[in-house]
A and B are shown apart, each in its own frame.
Chain A
């Protein structure tokens, strides 16, 4: 039971695992092509809805605050611009997620970094 020997066999095992994983990834790559159009549509739709929701919420908050406080157009205008900012934020977040997923598919595992 020497630690040296165990370490070596473990290293060999992880090497084998990595090789098997990359082989599996490569095998999975082309199969996703047929549904690529549908997934692309889903991504586009997701971004569109994300923009729309942030704008609607910004506009809505501004409108109701105006009604409540009696500052007719000003808060609506302010929150509309905040809504635009929020929409940008949402889109950036979606883009970052997709980027992460792509990295993940390539084999670099960023999943551990999110773990605390």
Chain B
């Protein structure tokens, strides 16, 4: 129990698989990814199978998730964004369930690994860039030059915009990863105090209750922020500014 607070992020291989020299072993991280996908599917399919006109609790929850993402997409991208709803909704549910599953004691949080969040962010970044070029051709490059600025400023503005554009996948992935790691380490460290202080451990225990509640909020909020930034990037690709 009383290990290092970083132990919870350790990846352990459950079944070694290697294809053409590539290590694609099934790890505890993969287990929770599969679990998240399965739970999202069960949650959405089971709750909407009734198709009640007046939704029950579960159907309401599923419809709330749907409406949250649909409204986000409509407010940020406009009607042109509707085509990308399935992707954005999938990303939102996957991250939300990943974050929430990690809050179960003993569970593994796959969003606490930079490579996982970076892979997600990279897919979004490449996809959005591809959509931009597909929609505007080379006109997409106008994104790197603010409309109406004098032409000679391009020398300095274009590299700055380029750096700013390339920093998107980094900021997107680091934000989610850092939030999850910080929260979980904090929980572990304070939980350690509870054991060490004996009877006085009630004080950090009370603190722990508050932080756990805050972590639930952070889990949902970070999934929300990740999704809304995806929407904003889509907006830039479709409308150029």
Interface residue ranges, A against B (CB under 8 Å):
35, 38-39, 42, 45-46, 49-50, 52-54, 56-58, 61, 79, 82-83, 85-87, 89-90, 93, 97, 104, 111, 114-116
Q: Given A39-B221, A97-B232: A79 and B239 within 8 A (CB)?
A: no
Residues on the A chain within 8 Å of B154, using CB: none
- Does B163 reach chain A (CB closer than 8 Å)? yes
Q: How far is A112 from B145 in the complex, measured between Cα atoms in Å?
A: 24
B218 touches A86 (CB 8 A): no
A35 touches B217 (CB 8 A): yes
- Does B113 reach chain A (CB closer than 8 Å)? no
B217 touches A82 (CB 8 A): no
Determine, out of B23-31, B166-174, B199-207, the stretch whose residues face the partner at the interface: B166-174
How many chain-B residues does the 8 Å CB contact rule pick out? 28
- Does B212 reach chain A (CB closer than 8 Å)? no
Main secondary structure of the interface of A (DSSP, over half): helix
Q: How far is A57 from B166 in the complex, measured between Cα atoms in Å?
A: 7
A54 touches B235 (CB 8 A): no
Q: How far is A52 from B79 in the complex, measured between Cα atoms in Å?
A: 33
Residues on the A chain within 8 Å of B225, using CB: 42, 46
Mark interface residues in B207-227 (1 if CB within 8 Å of A CB, else 0): 000000010011001100100
Mark interface residues in B174-193 (1 if CB within 8 Å of A CB, else 0): 11001100000000000000
A86 touches B164 (CB 8 A): yes
Contact of A89 among B78, B164, B235 (CB under 8 A): B164
Residues on the B chain within 8 Å of A57, using CB: 163, 166-167, 170
Closest Cβ of chain A to B61, distance in Å, is 19
Contact of A54 among B79, B164, B221 (CB under 8 A): B164
Contact of B171 among A49, A79, A83, A97 (CB under 8 A): A49
Residues on the B chain within 8 Å of A86, using CB: 160-164, 167
Q: Given A35-B217, A115-B79: A83 and B163 within 8 A (CB)?
A: yes
Contact of B217 among A38, A85, A93, A116 (CB under 8 A): A38
